[in-house]
Amino acid sequence: MTWRPNELWLDVDVLWFREALPGQAVAVDPLEAALLIPTVTGLEASRQRRLTAQAARRRRRLATRTVPAVALVVGSAVMLPIAWLRHGDPTRRAQPLHEDPPSLTFRLDVTGFTKAVHAVVSGWADSPGASAARATPAAKRTTDLAEVRWRPANSVGLPYSGHLVGGTQLPVAGPDWVTWDPVTDSAPNLPSRLYGNERTIRTVISVIATYRAAHPKAPRIVIGDISRRGGGRMDEHVSHQNGLDVDIYYPRRDRRLRAPFAVSQIDHSLAQDLLDRFVAAGAQMIFVGYSTGLHGPSGVVIPYPNHDNHMHVRFPPRAG
């Protein structure tokens, strides 16, 4: 009998699939045994990481779907996150979600609890500082130089539960700023993470322009996340959903255009001046890190956890 093409011969005396006769042990070569040890491939490890991240995102969505972040403001420098209001059952061993500052605050004063619903009913504040910032030649020059496609926008809903209609994208870099991606810790940020209300983008560009005009030797400002093109949920955040929130990284003493990773790297003088300009331009809330030493009007500048490398600037919605 001879072998012909397309034929497969099997030796009937070979024990297939590790089968053994009763009472007979199968000898395994050590090298063969090493090859049989299951290994985790790169694709499998990547798949496991992706599934773990998806499960974590689902848990965050369930934890923050219906209840906003709430905090108690005691004085001008102390804020206590009420995390159990977000997580539901106060007996659960759940850690507070510090990715974002709260959207509702309750202020403690001598008369008791006074609800200050800053992010819900306040209108757009056109303060004299904001008008002056937009009227300066530096602000006009920067707005003209920035390649921005302006679009009338509508910020719908709340910063932690809303969306954005007709958002304007901040360019990934401009004459006075660069952008930073907090997910990859690199520059620039993705264009899809830089959409905001037109008033938000104009105010940010104008404030930064006047700041740079006052400090010509200061480095450009590093801007983080704003909102997605249509708003809605954004990874790494609970708010940033309707184009009214902007993350601004503190200027660094070494002038490097990247997020600082230690408070000692912050140029506190420049950071305070930048913060003051956002306050004057009508910012509704500015959340800063406890260790930064930055200060401002009570109820507007609020210390909050996990903001030691950036200030979270929130602008008010348009009245009506």
Residue pLDDT, tens place only, 272-312: 999 999 999 999 999 999 999 999 999 999 999 989 999 99
Calpha distance 127→283 (Å, rounded): 10
Max intra-chain CA distance, the chain: 105
Average of per-residue pLDDT across 248-277: 97
pLDDT in tens, 116-167: 333 333 333 333 334 434 444 554 545 454 579 899 889 999 999 999 999 9
Q: Is the pLDDT of residue 86 over 70?
A: no
In the predicted model, what is the mean pLDDT of the chain?
75
Calpha distance 36→33 (Å, rounded): 5
Domain range 123-314, CATH class: alpha beta
Q: Is the pLDDT of residue 44 over 60?
A: yes
pLDDT in tens, 167-205: 999 999 999 999 999 999 999 999 999 999 999 999 999
pLDDT number for residue 171: 96
Nearest residue to 169 via CA among 231, 221, 80: 231
Return the higher-pLDDT residue of 38 and 45. 45
CA distances from residue 32 to 20, 36, 55 in whole angstroms, order as listed: 17, 6, 38
E strands present in the chain: 70-74, 78-81, 104-109, 112-116, 154-158, 161-165, 168-169, 173-174, 177-179, 195-196, 221-223, 245-249, 285-288, 301-303, 310-314
Calpha distance 237→225 (Å, rounded): 9
Is residue 277 within 8 Å of residue 123, measured between CB atoms?
no
Q: What angle do CA 29, 32, 38 make, to 5 degrees?
A: 135
Calpha distance 240→218 (Å, rounded): 28
pLDDT number for residue 72: 55
- Going by DSSP bridges, is the β-strand pair 221-223/195-196 parallel, antiparallel, or unpaired? unpaired
pLDDT number for residue 45: 76
Bond prior to 68 in cis (omega within 30° of 0): no
